[in-house]
Chains A and B, each alone.
Chain A
Amino acid sequence: MTDPFTLLHPSYATTATTATIAIHHGTYGVVTALPTSLSLFSLVVTVASIFLCSVIAMYFYRSYRFSGFGYLLGLPTGFAILAASFVFEHLSVIYSYPYANESLENLFFWIQLALQSEGFAFIALSYMLKNRANFTTINGLLPDTYKVFFSPHNWIYSSIKIREIIVGVLPMILISIPLMITISALFVQPILNDTELKDMSLYTTLFDIVVLGYIFVKCLKPLVKVANIKLLYIPASFALLWLEQYSLIINYFDNNQFAFIGSIIVRLAGLGLFVYAIYYALSSGRSREMEIET
């Protein structure tokens, strides 16, 4: 019997390529009502995810515009890219039903994987750069890296260590890894197939797990120091996004339906909690201002 959750995300299925093709044939030949409901479900999830990501991106972009703190730009950029990835996720679901469009489905899924990892990498970049130089822009950091590499004086005499070189280059590595993984997959296998995508989805999901773990720790540390439990909503939302990726890994190995449904619910909960955290923080700040005024 055709597994509807495998249909929604065929590339996460643990079955072999032949089995996936069989599923596609099954969908094309037998089921007509199911894809409509599933595509509708996918549309609702996608619209909700895009809306939540856009709200987050808008608030942090406004903060960046107001302050000009370059490191803040990573967060709205990341969430905007994440929102774009959900569009491609939906498109890959839509094109997964007619078997003739498998190449489009694979292409959209490939773009979704690349964008999702890139989005998380940009969010991590904000946390990576926040302590680098107090309130300097991302561009402001480039000359230091340049100095480390190209000044012979620094190489020979100064106390600049390899650690500083790594720290200077790390943001660039972080941003380029998702692109490298996804583009290298094209070099290995120019025509994308299910097996290729399955492998790539595993690598990108593992990358996302590592990056989200880093974001969670970096986000949690300063809030624990403040010791205000009400500020822990945003780390909790990152933890939920981490859980989404973890559920996708379970789904990859086990083809577990509940893990897949759980990943969708957890993603929406994570993004929703993030928006609520912004709303809560701003509204509590406003009420505090009003108390001071009265």
Chain B
Amino acid sequence: MRQEKRHKLQLFYEILIAIEGYMSNNDVTAAKPTHIQHTSRLSYDKMMNHFNELEKKGMIIYRRNNTDVLISITNKGKQFIKQYNELMILIESAGL
């Protein structure tokens, strides 16, 4: 089935939610890219581009440990999730 085109803001939100969800469910401080890719339904290249952008904006911390890549969410990232949720609620309630 063809997936609806997602806005960049929505993609950021889904990536950050995936990181936060993984961290809280597994009680760890960072998430693996494969899990994020699976949850956010993005191609690897696109996901890496978004990681770069999110890192530049200070919403995630991208770390390399030998062979592993680990990503954790910052407070700014958590704040983004909260604001995005509020935005969606507001838009939905106004029928926009």
Query: Contacts of B87 on A, CB cut-off 8 Å?
Result: 63, 66-67
Asked if B28 CB lies within 8 Å of chain A CBs, one says no
Evaluate contact between A223 and B95: CB separation under 8 angstroms. yes
In the complex, identify which listed stretch (B37-45, B55-63, B78-86) lies at the interface while the others stay far away. Answer: B78-86
Contact partner of B94 (CB less than 8 A), chosen from A134, A135, A219, is A219
State how many angstroms separate the Cβ of A213 from the closest Cβ of chain B: 14
B1 within 8 A of A: no
- State whether B82 touches A231 (Cβ < 8 A): no
List which A212-227 residues lie within 8 A (CB) of chain B.
218-223, 226
**Smallest CB-CB separation from B7: which chain A residue?**
A135
**Contact partner of A285 among B7, B85, B95, B96, CB < 8 A?**
B85
* Interface SS majority for chain A: helix
Distance of A282 Cα from B96 Cα, bound (Å): 15
Instruction: Report the nearest A residue to B89, measured CB to CB.
Output: A285
A33-67 contacts to B, CB under 8 A, are 59-60, 63, 66-67
Instruction: Enumerate chain A residues within 8 angstroms of B84, measured Cβ to Cβ.
Output: 66
Contact A234 B85 (CB under 8 A): no
* Chain B residues whose CB sits within 8 angstroms of the CB of A231 once the complex forms: 92-93, 95
CB distance from A66 to the nearest CB of B (A): 5
Within 8 A of B (CB), among A222-261: 222-223, 226, 231, 233-235
CB distance from B78 to the nearest CB of A (A): 11
In the complex where A67-B87, A278-B90 touch, is A130 in contact with B96 (Cβ < 8 A)?
Answer: yes
Query: A281 contacts B90, CB within 8 Å?
Result: yes
Residue A120 is within 8 A (CB to CB) of chain B in the complex: no
Give, as a whole number of angstroms, the nearest-CB distance from B51 to chain A. 21
* Contact assessment for B95 and A72 in the assembled complex, using a CB-CB cutoff below 8 Å: no
Whether A75 contacts B89 in the complex (CB less than 8 A), given A66-B83, A134-B7, A289-B82, comes out as: no
Q: Does A263 contact B (CB under 8 A)?
A: no
Which residue of chain A is the closest to B8 with respect to CB atoms?
Answer: A135
A126 within 8 A of B: yes
Given contacts A63-B87, A67-B87, A289-B82, contact A281 B96 (CB under 8 A): no
| Whole-angstrom CA separation of A289 from B82 in the bound complex | 9
- In the complex, what's the smallest C-beta–C-beta distance from A75 to chain B, in angstroms? 7
Contact of A222 among B85, B90, B95 (CB under 8 A): B95
Interface: A93 (CB within 8 A): no
Binding site for B on A (CB under 8 A): 59-60, 63, 66-68, 71-72, 75, 126-127, 130, 134-135, 218-223, 226, 231, 233-235, 277-278, 280-282, 284-285, 289
Seen from chain B, the residues whose Cβ lies within 8 Å of a Cβ on chain A are 5, 7, 9, 82-87, 89-96
Please name 8 pairs of A and B residues whose Cβ atoms are closer than 8 Å in the assembled complex, sorted by A.
Answer: A63-B91, A67-B9, A67-B87, A231-B92, A234-B93, A282-B86, A285-B86, A289-B82
Given A134-B7, A219-B94; 19 other pairs, CB 8 A cutoff: A59-B90, A60-B90, A63-B87, A63-B90, A66-B83, A67-B87, A72-B91, A75-B94, A127-B95, A130-B96, A218-B95, A223-B95, A226-B92, A231-B93, A231-B95, A234-B93, A281-B90, A285-B86, A289-B82
